[in-house]
């Protein structure tokens, strides 16, 4: 008798897990997560005529932001 009750509990758990995972997949597929706002690109730095060597450009500044310098 207790085996029958245990099996019913397992079935209810599995049904709940199935419904929950289906809802999560549907939310992801429908785009339920808000997109992050777009960042504005930094203006490109124009190199001086005849300058060579290190130049701080937009992609270098972006690297500095992500590396937390």
Domain ranges of the chain: 2-67
Mean pLDDT in the chain? 76
- pLDDT at site 15: 85
Give the pLDDT band (50/70/90) at residue 19: confident
DSSP count for the chain of H helices, then E strands: 2, 0
Here the tokens at position 60 are: 């270098």
How far is residue 16 CA from its own chain's centroid?
27
pTM over 0.75: no
pLDDT higher than 80, residue 54: yes
């Amino acid at each position: 008798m207790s085996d029958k009750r245990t099996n019913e509990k397992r079935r209810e758990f599995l049904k709940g897990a199935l419904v929950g995972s289906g809802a999560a997949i549907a939310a992801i597929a429908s785009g339920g997560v808000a997109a992050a706002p777009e960042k504005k690109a930094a203006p490109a730095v124009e190199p001086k005529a005849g300058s060579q060597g290190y130049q701080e450009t937009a992609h270098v500044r972006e690297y500095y932001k992500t590396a937390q310098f």
